[in-house]
Amino acid sequence: MVGQRLGHYLITEQIGAGGMGIVYRARDERLDRYVAVKVLPAGSVSDETARKRLRKEALALSRLNHPNIETVYDFDTQQNVDFLVAELIPGVSLDHKLAAGPLQEKEIVRLGTQMVQGLEAAHGAGIVHRDLKPANLRNTPDGRLKILDFGLAQDFAKPGTESMTINKTSVEGISGTLPYIPPEHLQGEKVGPRGDIYSAGAVLYEMATGRTPFQEKSGPLLMEAILNRPPAAPTAVNRRVSPALEAVILKAMDKDPDRRYQSARELRVDLERLGSTTTITPIRKAPRRNKLWPVGVAFALVAISLAIGYRMHFIGSKPASSDPITLAILPFEVLTNEEDVGFLRVGIADAVITKLASFGRLRLRPTSAILRYEKQQADPRQVGQALAADYVATGTVQKTEERLRVSTQLVRISDGSSVWGEHYDLARSDLLGLEDTIAEKIASALRVEISTAERERLYRRYTANPAAYELYLKGRAELARLTRES
């Protein structure tokens, strides 16, 4: 193709290849400028009707004219070759940048905000990307991020393809790159703006951790993880990620579209808030200072104190990999009327104990040992000392209409400090899977390595029916209380 002409475009060199075909640098002889010519795979445009549709979509894209979106100039067919003409953007794709590892938080916020600004503009014009990923994001030498192949990726998927690989899938109308595909698309639903928000969350996750949200190596296992499992907390993968950024990423990646950011604007606003407060990459919240310092000295002291605190707290306190950890999960405290949800006190605790008991490095105090604390407001340190436990997990449950607010906390007995805590606001029907999430978060907080077999056991489910799962928890609670007399 190099040296040939497609209409008034002289092909000078190949500069890339991907799902949309081969990309060439070309000279527009009519306007005397260099452009990117994307030659589509043979057979990807089946007939003239499809060509008209794609030409119409390319025209819509050409009208966007946004600094964070690749400008599309033309869609044409010459010599039976279908091709798209776009601006030639210098720089490297984000996946090349991420090959060196995770980015600093300030850079994540800066690039992420630009990515979402592009999404916001496109969604406002009724255009959805459908294949947002690092390879479709280009970082220019002047620091700008541009989204490529906007709105066209699905249309150009080669018909009849039935590959199901980690990098690309196009099965029965499902098109995209697996690690970034929203769960609802895998279930056959049409991707809308909230699907792009999930993909943006997956890209932010990779920026923050240096890896994709799910590590499964085969297509079917990866699909199952996207559909049913939560990603590992970014802070568990990279301790330099701030809790605030983690919260933004996980909200964007929520499996339920109704619980995600409902628009790109909402996501942009939260990223901009992070950007207005991020001056250094936070590691963990540092103690407040009582005096005001000159700005330059303050930044230096904060950076030093964070570094020292990180080493003392996360390195000095880290258990040796071979040391067993003794853990007690106390019955959850029900803060509202117990008549309807009282079974959750023991039911959740017992389910989490069962999940964690399969991890070789953890020694779990059995449910029978923690039942005595079922209706007590016990001090975690006293309980831990009584049970000879290294850590104690506590929790509360509060019911509001048909929603539940579950709070959990993990306490280190040696000094009484809280090493992890989280709040879950969920519909009652979403109880299914809560035990998996809590168990994984506790294991991550304790830096317990989870093998593939242990992870499969952790997320193994025996029902997808929320009502059946509630009955199961009630049964576990009653079984735990079973005595000779009862």
Q: How confident is the model at residue 167 (pLDDT cuts 50, 70, 90)?
A: very low
Angle made by CA atoms 34, 44, 176, in degrees to the nearest 5:
85
pLDDT at 26 over 70: yes
Domain CATH number, residue 461:
3.40.50.10070
| Residue from 28, 76, 82, 131 carrying the catalytic annotation | 131
Shared-domain flag, residues 20 and 121: no
- Residues 10-21 have a mean pLDDT of 82
Q: Helical H runs in 38-166?
A: 48-62, 94-98, 105-124
**Could you tell me the CA-to-CA distances from 274 to 262, 277, 279 in Å, in that order?**
19, 5, 10
Shared-domain flag, residues 110 and 183: yes
Q: Say if CB 227 and CB 183 are below 8 A apart.
A: yes
H or E element in which residue 235 lies: helix 234-237
- 252 vs 301, more confident: 252
pLDDT at 457 over 70: no
Domain CATH number, residue 182:
1.10.510.10
Shared-domain flag, residues 159 and 255: yes
**Each residue's pLDDT tens digit, 239-256:** 999 989 999 999 999 999
Least confident span in 7-11, 61-65, 275-279, 309-313? 309-313
pLDDT at 486 over 60: no
Q: Say if CB 280 and CB 299 are below 8 A apart.
A: yes
Number of structural domains (the chain) is 4
Return the DSSP state at 134. Answer: G
Shared-domain flag, residues 199 and 244: yes
- 317 within some domain: no
CA distance linking residue 388 with residue 326, whole number of Å? 8
Shared-domain flag, residues 205 and 335: no
CA distance linking residue 480 with residue 353, whole number of Å? 12
For residue 38, what are the β-bridge partners? 23, 84
CA distance linking residue 234 with residue 208, whole number of Å? 7
- Residues 281-306 have a mean pLDDT of 41
Per-residue pLDDT, 440: 86
Q: Within 10 Å of residue 97's Cβ, how many Cβ atoms?
A: 18
- The mean pLDDT value of the chain amounts to 80
Say what the pTM is.
Answer: 0.55
pLDDT at 298 over 50: no
Sequence-distant (≥ 6) Cβ neighbours of residue 194 within 8 angstroms: 182, 257, 260, 261, 262
Q: How confident is the model at residue 430 (pLDDT cuts 50, 70, 90)?
A: confident
Shared-domain flag, residues 204 and 294: no
- 486 within some domain: no
- 286 vs 90, more confident: 90
CA distance linking residue 135 with residue 107, whole number of Å? 17
Return the DSSP state at 107. Answer: H
- Residues 192-204 have a mean pLDDT of 96
Shared-domain flag, residues 100 and 205: yes
Shared-domain flag, residues 124 and 19: no
Report residue 378 as tokens. Answer: 């016990």
The last residue of one of the domains, among 54, 87, 120, is 87
Helices (H) and strands (E) in the chain, counts: 17, 17
Domain CATH number, residue 53:
3.30.200.20
- 473 within some domain: yes
Could you tell me which of 239, 453, 281 has the C-alpha nearest to residue 358? 453
- Going by their DSSP bridges, the two strands 72-78 and 418-427 should be labelled as unpaired
pLDDT at 332 over 50: yes
Domain that holds residue 298: 285-309
- 474 within some domain: yes
Per-residue pLDDT, 362: 87
Per-residue pLDDT, 290: 44
Q: Helical H runs in 278-411?
A: 295-310, 338-341, 344-356, 367-370, 380-386
Shared-domain flag, residues 151 and 270: yes
Per-residue pLDDT, 418: 85
- 316 within some domain: no
**Each residue's pLDDT tens digit, 340-379:** 788 888 889 988 998 888 787 888 888 888 888 887 777 8
Q: How confident is the model at residue 22 (pLDDT cuts 50, 70, 90)?
A: confident
Q: Say if CB 196 and CB 123 are below 8 A apart.
A: yes
pLDDT at 317 over 50: no
Q: How confident is the model at residue 213 (pLDDT cuts 50, 70, 90)?
A: very high
Instruction: Give the percent of the chain with pLDDT over 70.
Output: 77
Angle made by CA atoms 220, 176, 151, in degrees to the nearest 5:
165
Least confident span in 167-171, 172-176, 411-415? 167-171
CA distance linking residue 13 with residue 332, whole number of Å? 65
| Cα-Cα-Cα-Cα dihedral sign, residues 269, 273, 279, 283 | negative
**Each residue's pLDDT tens digit, 91-146:** 999 999 999 999 999 999 999 999 999 999 999 888 888 889 999 999 999 899 99
Sheet holding 137-139, edge to edge: 92-93, 137-139, 145-147
Shared-domain flag, residues 110 and 59: no
- 61 vs 387, more confident: 387
Per-residue pLDDT, 208: 97
- Going by their DSSP bridges, the two strands 391-400 and 403-412 should be labelled as antiparallel
Q: Within 10 Å of residue 357's Cβ, how many Cβ atoms?
A: 14
Per-residue pLDDT, 459: 65
Shared-domain flag, residues 256 and 128: yes
3-state secondary structure of 421: strand
- Residues 393-417 have a mean pLDDT of 87
Q: Say if CB 328 and CB 387 are below 8 A apart.
A: yes
Shared-domain flag, residues 403 and 305: no
- 319 within some domain: no
- 314 within some domain: no
- 131 catalytic residue (yes or no): yes
- 214 within some domain: yes
- In the numeric block, the tokens 């605030």 are attached to 244
